[in-house]
Structure 1
Amino acid sequence: MERSDSLSESPRKRNGLLRDQVQLVKRKDTSRYEIVPFPEPLSFEKGFFVMIRAIQLLVQNNEGIIFVGVAGPSGAGKTVFTEKVLNFMPSVAVISMDNYNDASRIVDGNFDDPRLTDYDTLLENIHGLKEGRTVDVPSSRIVIIEGIYALSDKLRPILDLRVSVTGGVHFDLVKRVLRDIQRAGQEPEEIIHQISETVYPMYKAFIEPDLKTAHIRIINKFNPFSGFQNPMYILKSPRSLTPDQIKAALGEDQTESNEETYDIYLLPPGEDPEACQSYLRMRNREGKYNLMFEEWVTDNPFIISPRITFEVSVRLLGGLMALGYTIAAILKRSSRVFSDGKATVKIDWLEQLNRRYIQVQGRDRLYVKFVAEQLGLDGSYIPRTYIEQIQLEKLMNDVMGAINQLSEQISTLNERMDEFTCRVEDLNSKFTLIKSSPSQQNLIPSSDTRNGSAPTNLFVSQLGNGTLIPNSSSSNQLSKESPLMEEITVLSRGQRQVIHQLDNLTNLLHEHLVLTRQGNAMSRNRIQEGINMAICPLIILTIGSVGYFVFKSLNRS
């Protein structure tokens, strides 16, 4: 049954310890209990703990067998999660829905079609368990039904606890590919085509709506790359080396070749392009395409890259785009490659960066470091991948563009301040002339009125009222000073805009220069400090200039 139909209102807001957040509520029109759904998804470990706690409460409050449904897309980790529960509670019985798939119903090799499951037999067995027929009932009274459709509308009415396990499209894709290669011996390209054309559409149409009815939603962030113990170690430097220097460091037993590589970096769905470390890369070299699942970490000065590579066709790119991947960058690289079998040294020319780099890479960390030392690269390493370097330079260009825009606005403000100062000095000179003329102490000639001047006694008498406009010529003076006041208003508005731009720039720097990895922390901090050092004097100079001229004009007045 649907969540809205099966649950009464939550008794109270969740708080406190995780075990205390697991609350029971009575189902409508039945005497059985179920837990109040958790509004937010949980991690793998927290979800496991909450599920164990929920099972304990359900066993205490419900009679008979407790049925638990564990569902999720293919490759999300349902089986691993169920095995973890089984290891903790060995007396639990597990029913795999894969055992109820009817092979005669398979159409076009689609093993994820919901019509494949023989629900009649499955429900007959489940009802037999509930009614106590001659079946080996588990001593714990707990039965877990595990499968991609374990939360379907046909099974929901009998489930006391509903659990969903998902892991994100990218890692689910990697895990599904690795699993099917081991199980069925399928080609990676065939698997990915099947996922993009069949599995993923089936998931969106039939599985995902069922998962929303789960009491406990678990996000399995297991990294499939963590199990690879043979990564590539890379040292990168911007120094220039000649081919003869590289040959001398590698010795006589080495080979030389030239490569031209196009790397298409695909951003996984929902990933932040500025923090992503798990791009999917499609590489074109000599007309052959390879799909590279990789994730890199930095252990300064090394870049460590576990990598899984499959040869595919270019048509696969469309299938990946259908899964939600987007092209983040296309990197063209021309390389001169030297190798002695244990380490490879590359002279890379990157078209986008218009720059040359030296790369030393291999499986043996100590040997890679030894070769780099022989080449004299110590102290010049850059612990960033090429895609990170492109992102960093894009960020620098954005920041410099903002600084240039700010400088232009400050220059415009300074020009207006100069004009404002000239007008204030001109006004002060007129007041001085009026004050020094004894013949104009009591009378206001029309010519002076037209020139915007006024008697000193009238001017002084109005100071207490906070105005610089004489009574007898207030209208004429106001009309003459209106452009000046408008200019002052414009200058004030411009100053506020500059301050607003400074705030925006500060926020931009704060957002973009947040450290995504420890390896590039120092370089990004130096960038931010340099920008702050450049901006602060400009701010102080601008505010000081405004204050100085205003104070000067008021003092003269």
Structure 2
Amino acid sequence: MTIPSFVIGIAGGTGAGKTTVARTLADEVGEPVTRIPLDNYYEDLSHLEYEEREEVNYDHPSAFEWELLREQLDTLLLGQPVEMPQYDFEVHNRKDDGVTVEPTDVIVLEGIFSLYDEEILDMLDLRIYVMTDADVRILRRIERDVVDRGRDLEGVIAQYLETVKPMHEQFVEPTKKEADVIIPEGANRSALELLIEKVESELDDDREDPDAFGRDRDDEPIVDGSTTR
């Protein structure tokens, strides 16, 4: 197994379109892609009753088991498989069984705090922030949580107002400054195509340039893969 050569972090608010970007990259980049959803690294709360787990602020950085994520990313970067935890959103806890994840030449970490942790930032070759209007994001959040995750509408709206929105403003949105690329809307096809071309180009170059976009980290990020902001 070869050691993976390119690690991408995709961050942004809830419902911004991070998963769309990650899946599109996985589907269309000309190399195998290992996707790591940050949501799978919520802390194990088996010691709490369901009612107590319902009260946890899952939109705060402390809700995640960062040490495990760092360890597993390190292992993947060494070319070795990991047993990634799986998460059940209906019961607010990890599933009993994990899933074996094999490393590939491209690894994509996707989640609201993908650009939050300093140690993980150092592992990333490309940092992406997906920026989407708040009204669009809340509608997507409601649809996802009610339809896909079996939660009640009233609870989803209450959670958004009490924790999701304030935590986004306090912790998630500030990570935008860490981004190499800012993509407006997860479904922005032109931006995705430019991003895919850039990733494929960097892979072809075998990372001869250590900075994926040929810029210093202090420079302004590239918006939509084409113009500086």
User: Residues 179-219 of structure 1: CA distance to partner in whole angstroms, max 9, x if unpaired?
Assistant: 11112333323212211110011111111111221000011
Q: Distance in 2 between matches of 1:174 and 1:134?
A: 36
Q: For 2:122, which of 157, 171, 190 is the aligned residue?
A: 157
Match of 1:124 among 59, 67, 71: 71
1:92 partner letter: V
Match of 2:5 in 1: 65
Aligned-partner Cα distance in 2 for 1:144–1:103: 23
Where do residues 485-504 of structure 1 align in structure 2 (5 Å cutoff)? none
Q: 1:189 aligns with which of 132, 140, 154?
A: 154
Contact 2:5 2:106 in 1 (8 A): yes
Of 84, 97, 101, the residue aligned with 2:42 is: 101
Deviation at 1:132, TM superposition (A): 3.5
Match of 1:77 in 2: 17
Q: 2:55 is paired with a residue of what secondary structure?
A: coil
Residues 153, 210 of structure 1: 8 Å contact kept: no
Cα distance, 1:107–1:156 mapped onto 2, change above 3 Å: farther
Pairing 1:242-391 to 2, within 5 Å after superposition? none
The structure with the largest helix share of the pair is: 1
Distance 2:177 2:54 in 1: 27
How far does the alpha carbon of each residue in 1:62-113 deviate from its partner, in whole angstroms, 9 at most, with x for none?
x852111001111111111111111102611111111111141857142212
**Separation in structure 1 between the aligned mates of residue 142 and residue 58 of structure 2, nearest angstrom:** 15
Q: CA deviation at 1:175?
A: 0.7
**Counterparts of 1:161 and 1:137, CA distance in 2:** 17
Change (3 A) 1:147 1:108: same
Q: Secondary structure at the match of 1:164?
A: strand
- Residue 203 of structure 1, aligned match among 147, 168, 186: 168
Q: Equivalents in 1 of 2:64, 2:35: separation in Å? A: 17
Question: Is the Cα–Cα contact under 8 Å of residues 59 and 164 in structure 2 kept in the other structure?
Answer: yes
For residues 81 and 199 of structure 1, what CA distance do their matches in structure 2 show?
21
Give CA deviations for 1:416-438 in whole Å, capped at 9, x if unaligned: xxxxxxxxxxxxxxxxxxxxxxx
The structure 2 residue matched to 1:92, chosen from 29, 33, 36, is: 33
Q: What's the Cα RMSD here?
A: 2.3
CA contact under 8 A between 2:21 and 2:186: conserved in structure 1?
A: no
Query: 8 Å contact 2:20–2:187 — kept in the other structure?
Result: no
Higher relative contact order (CA 8 A, sep 6+): 2
2:112 equivalent among 148, 156, 163: 148
Percent identity for Structure 1 against Structure 2: 31
Q: In structure 2, give the amino acid aligned to 1:132.
A: G
Unaligned residue ranges in structure 1 (runs of 5+): 1-62, 224-557
Whole-Å Cα distance in 1 between the matches of residues 147 and 165 of structure 2?
A: 21
The answer to whether 1:180 aligns with 2:145 is: yes
SS at match of 1:204: helix
**What does residue 137 of structure 1 align with?**
103
Cα distance in 2, alignment partners of residues 122 and 71 from structure 1 = 15
For residue 161 of structure 1, report the CA deviation from its aligned partner: 0.5
Note the C-alpha offset of 1:221: 6.9
The count of corresponding residues between Structure 1 and Structure 2 is 159
Specify the alignment match of 2:91 in structure 1.
none
Q: Measure, in 1, the Cα distance between the counterparts of 2:34 and 2:7.
A: 10
1:18 matched residue in structure 2: none
Letter of the structure 2 residue corresponding to residue 159 of structure 1: L
CA distance in structure 2 between the partners assigned to 1:80 and 1:73 by the alignment: 13
For the Cα contact (< 8 Å) 1:103–1:116, is it kept in 2? no
User: Equivalent residue for 2:215?
Assistant: none
- CA-to-partner distance for each residue in 1:462-489, whole Å, 9 max, x for gaps? xxxxxxxxxxxxxxxxxxxxxxxxxxxx
Q: CA separation in 2, counterparts of 1:187 and 1:100? A: 24
Aligned mates of 2:150, 2:36 — CA distance in 1: 26
The 8 Å contact of residues 38 and 110 in structure 2, kept in 1 or not, is answered as yes
Map of 2:135 onto structure 1:
170
